[in-house]
Amino acid sequence: MTLADPSFKTKYYHKRLSHLLRLERGRPEGTRGEPELVAVDPEPGVTPSEKPPVRIFLGTEPAQHRAERVFVWSVHQHRDPSRRYEIYLMKDLKGFNRDRWKTGFTNYRYAIPDLAGGSGRAIYNDVDQIYLADPAELFDMDMQGAGQMCIAERETAVMLLDCEKMATIWHREDAERSERHKYFRHRVQAIEGMWGQLPDVWNSRDHEFQPGVSKLLHYTTLQTQPWRPFPKELKYRDNPNGDIWFNMETAADAAGFTLFTEEQPSQRYRKLVEMYKTMHEAGSPEVGRPAAKTFSGISLAEHLAPIASLIAETGSKSLLDYGSGKATLYAPYPGEPTDSRFKSMKEWGETKVTCYDPGYAPFSGPIEPAYDGVISTDVLEHITEEDIPWVLDKLYRHARCFVYAVAACYPAKKLLPDGQNAHCTVQPPEWWREQLEGAAHRRPGIRWQLCAQLKGRFGKSNRVFRG
Q: What is the CATH number of the domain that holds 104?
A: 3.90.550.10
Q: Do residues 203 and 301 both lie within one domain? A: no
Residue 418 is assigned to a structural domain of this protein: yes
Q: Do residues 319 and 206 both lie within one domain? A: no
Record the pTM.
0.92
* Last residue in a domain, options 197, 229, 254: 254
Q: Which of 256 and 11 is assigned the larger pLDDT?
A: 256
Q: Do residues 234 and 272 both lie within one domain? A: no
Q: Which pLDDT score is estimated for 23?
A: 47
Q: Do residues 351 and 425 both lie within one domain? A: yes
Burial of 142 (0-12, 13-18, 19+ CB in 10 A): exposed
Residue 259 is assigned to a structural domain of this protein: no
Q: Which pLDDT score is estimated for 13?
A: 57
pLDDT digits (tens, 9 = 90+) for 344-370: 999 999 999 999 999 899 999 999 999
Residue 260 is assigned to a structural domain of this protein: no
* Last residue in a domain, options 228, 254, 280: 254
Q: Do residues 234 and 303 both lie within one domain? A: no
Q: Are strands 342-344 and 331-332 parallel, antiparallel or unpaired?
A: antiparallel
Residue 95 is assigned to a structural domain of this protein: yes
- Domain range for residue 279? 267-466
Q: Residue 449: is its pLDDT beyond 90?
A: yes
Residue 262 is assigned to a structural domain of this protein: no
Model confidence band, residue 7 (pLDDT cutoffs 50, 70, 90): low
What CATH number is given to the structural domain containing 418? 3.40.50
Residue 1 is assigned to a structural domain of this protein: no
Q: Do residues 198 and 335 both lie within one domain? A: no
Q: Residue 126: is its pLDDT beyond 90?
A: yes
Q: Do residues 272 and 409 both lie within one domain? A: yes
Residue 23 is assigned to a structural domain of this protein: yes
Helices 65-78 and 242-254, packing angle to 10 deg: 80
Q: What percent of the chain has pLDDT over 70?
A: 95
What mean pLDDT value characterizes the chain? 93
* Last residue in a domain, options 254, 281, 298: 254
Q: Give the count of domains, the chain.
A: 2
Q: Which pLDDT score is estimated for 289?
A: 79
Q: Do residues 26 and 158 both lie within one domain? A: yes
Q: Do residues 245 and 290 both lie within one domain? A: no
- Please report, to the nearest 10 degrees, the dihedral formed by the alpha carbons of residues 83, 203, 30, 162 taken in order: 60
Q: What percent of the chain has pLDDT over 90?
A: 83
Give the whole-angstrom CA distance, residue 111 versus residue 167. Answer: 9
